[in-house]
Structure 1
Amino acid sequence: MLDGVTGGSAEIVAQDVLGGSGSLNLDARQDIDWMSNRVRVIYNRGDVSWPVGTYLLTSPKESHSKFVLGYEVGLLTKMSVPSEDTVDARFSLDAVTAIIPAAVALLQSTGEDRIAVTSSDAVLSSALTWEAGTSKLQIINDLLQAAGYWALWCDGSGQFRVEPYTDPASRPVAFDFQHGAQSLHMPDWSREQNNTSVPNKVTLKTVGDGDAEGLVGVATNEDPESPYSFQARGDRWISATEEGVEAATQAIIDALAAKKLRDAMTPVSRLEVTHAMLDLNPNDLVGFTPEDGVRRFATIQRMSMDFTFDTDISAEWREVLS
């Protein structure tokens, strides 16, 4: 137990490669090894509890007043471990290398062993090389993308997660927020849309290997019911192209292109909601039926909270278009 905590906060961010950050306020210097110790924040409500985050500590900042000496300590997610560890020399993997075992081995080389892994038979379609000084997290995430997986993330207990990407429509609803006497969200909420920059065509390309051409994945929106489609734009393509993508097979690059196209649409529908503390993870799918009676679905992008007994979560969600 860490005594003397007078406050703090945490922010969990799905699109941040490090997954967020936090801070702690202490009323006295504790017997802590700031360089190696870790701290786990656990939320307790009666007989229900769950870990909010497991963090590394930064060197404390002293705060002096006339009567009090306190300390402010930054909290870094465990994603900082592979992010700050780099390869010493050029790092290469041959074609047909099994992708997920290679990514897990690289993570284990940082000294981390609490890893939950979903296995895969995916192999590299061509040899890959990263220059000396590249962070191991970047290499791991390049490999996971090639296999059609989520970027590496770490849950509240401090366990690294290596999992296949799941389309929002295929995710279970983690929680259903509904207006009423037992509502767990505040009545005030907001929705923001920005429609002008949404593409209706996404093209992804891999790098060729010798005489073999690279893979090309194309996803288009030609749904006449979609406000962003080719037809809705006056039979005009609004394209987004990305080269140097890592993908092991044609099916994976096609799926990546489709995901990129979907993701390009989600920022245009952003919801900001305040709700009670709940055991939720970034990218979870939630249902939302506010006072207007319209049921919406959204994925969790950001959760901010204070370390107080009565804290709420300030959340940012991406609406899932049905």
Structure 2
Amino acid sequence: MPAQIYALDISGRRTRPADPLSGHRQESWRVNLLNNNDVLLTQLVGVVGGEFTFNVNAAIRGSGSIEYSGTPLDWNQHRVQPIYRTEAGGAAVEWPLGVFLVATPSSEYKDGDRTVSLEMYDKTKILEDDLIPASYQVAKGSNVITAVRAVLALSGQTRTAFEESTQTLATAMVWPAGTSRLRIINDLLESVNYFSIWVDGDGVFRTSPYLSPADRGMSWEFEDNEKSIYSPEFTHDFDTFDVPNRVIVTGQSDGDTAAPVAVAEDNGTGPFSIATRGRVISRYEEGQEASSQATLQAIAERLLQTGQQVGSTFSIQHAPIPIDLNSVVAFRRGVEAIDVATTLQTISYSMDTGALCSTTLREFIQ
């Protein structure tokens, strides 16, 4: 879900929507100090720099660091929320990058001054660190989204914005002691073909049914014109040797019947199809949890789609924009005759004035 953008009046109140994200910017950062319930305490004074990275393929998608020279704090009792702000086109817009837990910092001393490097992780770190002390089971027939909320609550997390589902487990799911609650949650979500759980800029846990990139809608267009906000220097990696055109997925047996099977094939005319390549390149997944045969088939289709996106990626640099991982982005470059639809895989921010974001985009076939 893309971040919302608002114009701000002189007092900082949100007013009409605006789009001052092209052209010259006057930008600034601030970092909010929150308590462990994500309640705003004050603005963190003493931040002298920082950087933040988000990666759709990482277990903990958001991480970063802040250089801090302010009053020492008990970081076990506080969280931070970096916010980017830009003023241009007669309006101001801002958006939060996330709510972060702060690791035990290291300190650097120079001429009597002390600077602390604060390592940070988004709130999925809470779930990653919470390992179950005994085996955990979700019974056959359980509503999956209800089960996910229950696991979150066991880690003390109740701030959620989930798209509801009536899907239930076709078979019981069991995890051994030592499994993280993050793994349990994502296993449950995968069984109903949902996106993995993630945390938005306000620290709210989110998930929704998986949509193929072609069905998500365009979130941003990197245009090659007078309003371009990206650097003309970029890289393109294109490796298609192992890109699959057939995916075979077997589900879980209930003990009385054979495990269900789903097959997804590219029988079209695209560059990775069986007909175009003249051979079958298969991927096999065994023991997939799925709430139904239809869900198992949807998972096979999803694996085929994502497997075919790996072949072409673009690494670009651009001015900061409010956009989330997995968003669909157009990338256009006239000189090289590039006009592609992509999904956002990684994005990195720096708090240095004028710094560009470094972003990886993965092309998909529409």
User: Post-superposition shift, 1:233?
Assistant: 2.8
In the alignment, the residues of structure 1 paired with residue 261 and residue 59 of structure 2 have an alpha-carbon distance, to the nearest angstrom, of: 26
Cα pair 1:78 1:154 within 8 Å, conserved: yes
Matched, 1:64 2:109: yes
One-letter code aligned to 1:148: N
Q: Which of 284, 295, 298 matches 2:327?
A: 284
User: Post-superposition shift, 1:12?
Assistant: 0.8
User: Post-superposition shift, 1:280?
Assistant: 0.3
User: Post-superposition shift, 1:122?
Assistant: 0.5
User: Post-superposition shift, 1:81?
Assistant: 0.7
Cα pair 1:187 1:291 within 8 Å, conserved: no
Give aligned pairs, total.
319
User: Post-superposition shift, 1:183?
Assistant: 0.8
In the alignment, the residues of structure 2 paired with residue 265 and residue 36 of structure 1 have an alpha-carbon distance, to the nearest angstrom, of: 44
One-letter code aligned to 2:264: A
User: Post-superposition shift, 1:35?
Assistant: 1.2
In the alignment, the residues of structure 1 paired with residue 249 and residue 77 of structure 2 have an alpha-carbon distance, to the nearest angstrom, of: 41
Taking structure 2 as the reference length, the TM-score comes to 0.84
One-letter code aligned to 2:74: D
Q: Which of 154, 165, 173 matches 1:109?
A: 154
Q: Which of 36, 46, 49 matches 1:7?
A: 49
Cα pair 2:149 2:158 within 8 Å, conserved: no
How many percent identity over aligned positions? 31
Secondary structure at the aligned position of 1:192 is classed as: strand
Secondary structure at the aligned position of 2:276 is classed as: coil
- Range 93-102 or range 62-71, more displaced: 62-71
Q: Any unmatched runs of 5+ in structure 1?
A: none
In the alignment, the residues of structure 2 paired with residue 95 and residue 53 of structure 1 have an alpha-carbon distance, to the nearest angstrom, of: 35
Q: In the alignment, what sits opposite 1:40? A: 81
In the alignment, the residues of structure 1 paired with residue 329 and residue 266 of structure 2 have an alpha-carbon distance, to the nearest angstrom, of: 25
Superposed, which structure 2 residues align to 1:206-225 within 5 Å? 206-223=251-268, 225=269
Q: Deviations over 1:269-299 (max 9, x none)?
A: 0011111111000000011211235421111
In the alignment, the residues of structure 2 paired with residue 259 and residue 78 of structure 1 have an alpha-carbon distance, to the nearest angstrom, of: 27
Q: Any unmatched runs of 5+ in structure 2?
A: 1-42
One-letter code aligned to 1:310: G
Secondary structure at the aligned position of 2:305 is classed as: helix
Q: Which of 212, 234, 237 matches 1:189?
A: 234
Secondary structure at the aligned position of 1:105 is classed as: helix
Q: In the alignment, what sits opposite 1:266? A: 309
Taking structure 1 as the reference length, the TM-score comes to 0.96
In the alignment, the residues of structure 2 paired with residue 289 and residue 183 of structure 1 have an alpha-carbon distance, to the nearest angstrom, of: 10
Q: CA RMSD in A?
A: 1.3
Q: Which of 139, 145, 162 matches 1:94?
A: 139
In the alignment, the residues of structure 2 paired with residue 66 and residue 11 of structure 1 have an alpha-carbon distance, to the nearest angstrom, of: 31
Q: In the alignment, what sits opposite 1:23? A: 65
Q: In the alignment, what sits opposite 1:306? A: 350
Q: Which of 289, 295, 305 matches 2:339?
A: 295
User: Post-superposition shift, 1:67?
Assistant: 4.7
User: Post-superposition shift, 1:318?
Assistant: 0.4
